[in-house]
Amino acid sequence: MIEIMVNLQPESKKALYEQIYEYIRNEIADGKIFKNEKLPSTRLLAKNLAVSRSTVELAYEQLVSEGYVEARPCSGYYVCDIVDIYKAEIRGELKPAEEKKRKKRQEYRYDFSPYMVDLGYFPYSAWKKINKNVLSEEKKLFQAGNPSGELALRYEVSRYLHQARGVNCEPEQIIIGAGNEYLLLLLVQILGNRKRVVMENPTYLQPYRIFRNMHYEVFGASMDKSGISLAEIRNYDPDIVYTMPSHQYPLGVVMPLKRRMELLSWASEKENRYIIEDDHDSEFRYKGKPIPSLQGKDKNGSVIYLGTFSKSIAPALRISYMVLPKQLLNKYQENCGFYASTVSKIQQEILACFMRDGYFERHLNRMRGIYKTKHDLMSAELKKQPWVHKIYGDNAGLHFLVEIETEMEEEQLIQTGKLHGIRLYGLSENYITKPDKAKYPTLLIGYGSIPEKEIEQSVAGLSKLLESL
């Protein structure tokens, strides 16, 4: 593990986390930090720089979102392969013209990430106040925590899920973990080996990779306007269906009640069939009435519910939760009850207070309004563009899907964007099994982290790029 010394300027207009992020990013870009090198833990770097741990976490999360660093579960943060590009350039292996392109790749003028959120409105002062109050209870904090998560947090999560998502659960059914990936690793140990899983295709590929690494058979089922195909589920005859009914990633499909009930009916036909409900982006909805969770309609204990605070609060928080059916609690205790919690007891207590005192609800309501404004602005700008063939998936979440009228293929479009300082994200990279070549390349246009005042110019920048091709 390397050491990092950043000359922080507290009087600067730039936030401390931005200064840390920019320093590490530049060190990677200049080849001074090499690929696969482990960065200091957030706790250690915060100590060395005399800043809060949350400040370092925000910097690391920005590096992760931009692809400079990757977070490895239960291990830490490591530098990605992108450093090889910069090392080659430093050795003079690239032509002078490509050196100019390198500089553009280092700095993205516009990043249409579907994963990033707007941290500019977070109530930092409230979080700091709660942090100070929680830390005053020293004896309580430094005792061993509950492996399932602190009861205070599990209680607040159960209340929130029932009120906001119609989830029916008791605090003892909730497991707190550092990210959905960790919770899925626990779940595999609870459900047992050699299971068959059907997932939506396309989908968020992290769960797919985890299931494959744990030797599960994984099949991709196609999507229609109502969600995952029931006919294909029956054809594969799986033990588990992994679905995102509230806002499917990346297509944005919202599963209607009829399909939800059909899915629950399928699960009830045999013992030990389960549905994993990933309630992705359920907090941010812009059209139609909200539909309660699948878990709330489950009468047979077939639904395992997953959620996270990554978008509702911040990705760096790394706190997710899993709601287990009651019949799986004994298996959890037998197979995983001896694991220590992967989330700091201090962070759990802070979040519990943040929720209990009403800060979370107020923050979420505020962000819904902000994202709705951004959604409408981005939608209006995209609809003006002659290169837009179709826009869809915009009922909820923080991104659109946009079919592009161009002669270029999707990957060529993404690479060309990089050379011009525009980071683009393609639909095809989310498929388990690649589909036939589409007539129109499709981009995921995220707007969560783009300031309102920059939305018009970001679309104009993309338009300029496409019109020059």
CA–CA separation, 296 and 165 (whole Å)? 8
| Rounded-to-integer distance, Cα 35 and Cα 388, Å | 38
Mean pLDDT (whole number) for 32-37: 86
* pLDDT over threshold 60, residue 91: no
Strand ranges of the sheet holding 303-308, from the earlier edge strand across to the other edge: 174-177, 320-323, 303-308, 274-278, 240-243, 196-200, 217-221
Q: Specify whether the CB–CB gap between 145 and 176 falls below 8 A.
A: no
Q: What pLDDT, on a 0 to 100 scale, did the predictor assign at position 88?
A: 43
Render pLDDT for 296-306 as a digit per residue (tens, 0 to 9): 999 999 999 99
The full length of the chain comes to 469
**Which of 275 and 285 is assigned the larger pLDDT?**
275
State the average pLDDT for the chain: 89
pLDDT-based confidence at 99, cuts 50/70/90?
very low
Between 259 and 467, the more confident residue is: 259
Encode pLDDT of 377-398 as tens digits.
999 999 999 999 999 998 888 9
In this prediction, residue 190 carries a pLDDT of 97
Which position has the higher pLDDT, 395 or 260?
260
Q: Is residue 466's pLDDT more than 50?
A: yes
| Sequence spans of domains, the chain | 16-98, 125-357, 361-468
- Which one is predicted more confidently, 20 or 3? 20
Contact of 247 with 397, CB cutoff 8 Å: yes
Q: Which helix (H) or strand (E) holds 274?
A: strand 274-278
Q: What is residue 82's predicted lDDT score, i.e. its pLDDT?
A: 66
Is pLDDT at 292 greater than 90 in this prediction?
no
DSSP-derived secondary structure for 92-143: T-S-HHHHHHHHHHHS-SEE--SS----TT--HHHHHHHHHHHHT-HHHHTS
Class at the top of the CATH hierarchy for domain 125-357: alpha beta
Radius of gyration for the chain, computed over Cα atoms and rounded to the nearest angstrom: 23
Please answer whether residues 422 and 438 qualify as being in contact, where contact means their C-beta atoms are separated by less than 8 angstroms.
no
SS (H, E, C) 54-69: HHHHHHHHHHHHCCCE
- Cα separation, 315 vs 60, whole angstroms: 10
pTM of the model: 0.76
361-468 domain in CATH 3.40.605.10?
no
Q: Which two tokens stand for residue 465?
A: 């790029």
288 token code pair: 């139609």
Residue 211 has pLDDT above 70, yes or no: yes
- CA-closest candidate to residue 217, choices 198, 190, 242: 198
450 vs 453: CA distance, rounded Å: 8
Write down the pLDDT at residue 97.
Answer: 44
pLDDT band at 139 (very low <50, low <70, confident <90, very high): low
pLDDT at res. 102: 46
* CATH fold of the domain at 16-98: Arc Repressor Mutant, subunit A (1.10.10)
| Residue 143, pLDDT above cutoff 80 | no
Q: Nearest-CA neighbor of 129 among 52, 57, 49, 59? A: 52
Has residue 189 got a pLDDT over 70? yes
- Matching fold, domains 16-98 and 361-468: no
Coil/strand/helix, residue 422: strand
pLDDT cut 70: percent of the chain above it: 93
Rounded CA-CA distance 159/234 in Å is: 35
**DSSP 8-state code for residue 171:** G
pLDDT band, residue 283 (cuts 50/70/90):
confident
